[in-house]
Amino acid sequence: AQSVTQLDSHVSVSEGTPVLLRCNYSSSYSPSLFWYVQHPNKGLQLLLKYTSAATLVKGINGFEAEFKKSETSFHLTKPSAHMSDAAEYFCVVSEGTGGFKTIFGAGTRLFVKA
């Protein structure tokens, strides 16, 4: 069975500095991997997805993630944080087309200081 671990429950950065949100996964297959963002009192929005094409995936709002099979990691990065990036971020692993084969991480809360 697949699993996903977000290594930090909270990350705090200053505006204009890089962002790194860490995610490790476990899967018996070649999974699909996703990052979602949730702003307060909103639903989740898809940031980017990896589905066995290029290992470096670019998403919306300047975010990108690199799939590293040898390290079973899918870390999310952004070169320069903006105040509007403050939100909760979820890493997701999926071995199938939705439902109970899709597992959400516990989330990482990103704080951005002025």
- Binding residues (CB under 8 A) for another protein: these are 32, 34, 36, 41-46, 49, 51, 90, 92, 94, 96-100, 102, 104-107
- The pair of structure tokens assigned to 39 is 């702003």
**Overall residue count recorded for the chain in this entry:** 114
Q: Tell the smallest beta-carbon distance from residue 102 to another protein (Å).
A: 8
Minimal distance, residue 34 CB to another protein, in Å: 5
Choice between 73 and 94, CB closer to another protein: 94
- Nearest to another protein of 67, 90 (CB atom): 90
Could you count the other beta carbons within 10 Å of the beta carbon of residue 33?
22
**Amino acid occupying residue 21:** L
18 vs 21: CA distance, rounded Å = 10
Least distance in Å: CB of 14 to another protein? 26
Phi-psi region of 39 (alpha: psi -120 to 50; beta: other; left: phi over 0): beta
Of the pair 66, 109, the CB lying nearest another protein is at 109
